[in-house]
Structure 1
């Protein structure tokens, strides 16, 4: 969340620039879309120098770093004010979204598109390193997908290799899942770790998910080099680039070649090759304009490095490594020398929301009460128990990995425990099920009586059949809503979204599932239209 001192609204003036809208906010300031006196648009990054001296010094360093770079995938600076109370820097503005948002909206990149993305970003990163700058924050949130291709943005955490560190005493800044393992262990951030973060970002681009997850669980998975990638060209090279052994990591140019299918990358050994612009990386097209600063705040975790451990790593690697940043989720964590990163217990990550898909399926089962009221209610109860057990199983797996780290066979072991989770979920669902039966059954019975006595429907056959069907369907919907929002059902709701996310990994699959539910509702309506009478099983037949 941005500091109060940098909060601006559209129409406000900043150093002669008029604020048009907000592009992003973060702990070090805010980024605004602005318009200059000539009507040209730009991106302005503002920090409150009075409230945060470190942030102001980082911004000054960012300006100096970018002024020394000339690359089509690295933004240029138009203006800067570093001495006043309002400390800001102005970049050329281009339309686009972050890589993270691009993948969320359109899905992962593959084939030639993935290879071109990797080549352009690797070339930009090598140019940054050739200028003597370490980015320290390479993540999907800090790559802008412009009309001309990806652009590496937000050098707010960058530093020249000869600069003194600006991270607050005893802390290393970054985001879980995009920080190189040697940096977590205490090594000084440098180009090697920047390349690791780049590889993690490419892995996200390939799969559509953070390669090591988020939160403190990502720390243990990073240290174990536990990453799952699809069996596609370049995947083996990416796995090697994300390994713990610095000497065995292929260079970005080798990863790009493997992604393009040009070669098979074998683990390296011995000394680490120097940082140079790889000739194997294809040249990038010159952009008409560069990207603005980040459009979304990044979540940050902090670890306190053990000095002796850092010295040992520095001696063993010979070259400093660099820290990265991500855009995904996770609450800030502060870990001291006496704490173990992997043992910090944090809540399980919230499942992605699939509200439309969940709502249409619940509605489909609920309106089926017009044809089989008791069966529909039992299916709703069974569904609630299953999704609650799914969430219980996910929570148990998450807790185990928080305590011991990720191990082979964890998922299978906790799947074997699913019957216990089902039994526990059934017991926990009883109060909400009773309430749902009372609300839904009561509403259906009242509606049935009002229709039968011709208070809500005419005496004709069509009027009575449609009236009774609607009464039962309304009862089913009320039962479903009560079950969803009933007492102690938050775990059930979360499990519903988690199961929906598993069944619909992409937007297209989610749309297909939604259409199936809509088709089910249409079938119920057609059956009522054809004068189908309710099936009361397992209860005795009631008067038709």
Structure 2
């Protein structure tokens, strides 16, 4: 039993709600169990800052919450409250007492036929209630379905979006879980009710098998694009129905009402008939490995789930694949007739076909396909373009990786260290030139870093746009000025460090060792002063372009090594004189 509010200390308080513990998190925010002012337990979802970043975002959130308040249904978690005007926007919903479908299946195993049919009906009712007010859930998955004594309840509307809002994709955020997101949406289509029904069918596959509908490892999205649904272990007809509901092409998917009817038939002991109404034509590309022939009717009520009589002549081997009736015969005999039980047929009897039952249409004489050689296989035209689904990669958490522009460039500490050593050695010969060049580089890197950071923040808050790069280029001079101002504290700190080291060591350490050491101190202080943060990001951004892979980075490391070795050779061959230009020679004695 959960501890009461007096037994658990709140993590913190937000908008009058005391947050007790984290229930889950995702790309759009974090969900907490919380207590309101009347000591009622609720679910509070703190949204990502992008949803309250500006007036337009807050207005969009207010409009969405007002719409969500109109969602009513016994299978939908009711929205109780929301806050769009504070720095931390949040949505408050009912806290559903129950276990998530994901947890239940992991703990107790897949649902049985009756439970699966009830789940399909309950979730379908929830989606119909949600879509009725123009809302799209967009992330229907096992973790967002709670199982209660009164049936399933859909939760987590924190990532729902208004279906008719033309600014849905302004933020550029991709939400949803691989395997439960319509492939059309993953390819960039606007989210809509069709995508929710895809998620509905995917959830049913998980509930029926206990496994992800398209697996749980790398390549989930490629299997989604190919329509490779994992229905192993399911009854053949149910497997066929669920595969059809998850067809990659929305126009070829089985309609939800047909899926519900098939699951209901199976739960009550009636064998589902794989019957497809208009627009639900069978897909010859999605094969059923059992060798049984699907029945297709113009009207689902005209067909019955009776097996076909044997059609293989005695003594011949069965074909590897089911023969397809020619189109002209399908046009002539469009409806499915009822055959008598297969017990009336004998594998050795070659007499007349038994008469059809009363009221049933008599079929014409059968068309004998013969037992001749198999038809030649159809070879694909080698000149035709090969259409492949887009390549997706998954992060460590199983979610699609963020776009490259949203990820700050990674640091290259070893490459920075190599160049620090090389410049320090070169500074042993030309200290003033090297330190001045370092200041110029820090200013330039600082401008690049602040410009890149501003561009990334703008895209995160408003989404990427066609004018992003021209705008960033036009703003670069302003970032140069900012870089110059932010470099000044580093110059002051570095100069102070140089003076201290020089005064303390000039009379005790030979210049051949002291000057490179002083240059190294100056470079380190200039680089690691807090105000040089933009410069460090700018350097990482430049290296991402100039040295994107290990081989390119190795080339730059070799160049640095060459600079350092050249400086060492010049020092060894020269007279040891240091070129202080353009600064004057510093004093050599202080005491």
TM-score by length of 1: 0.46
Larger Rg: 2
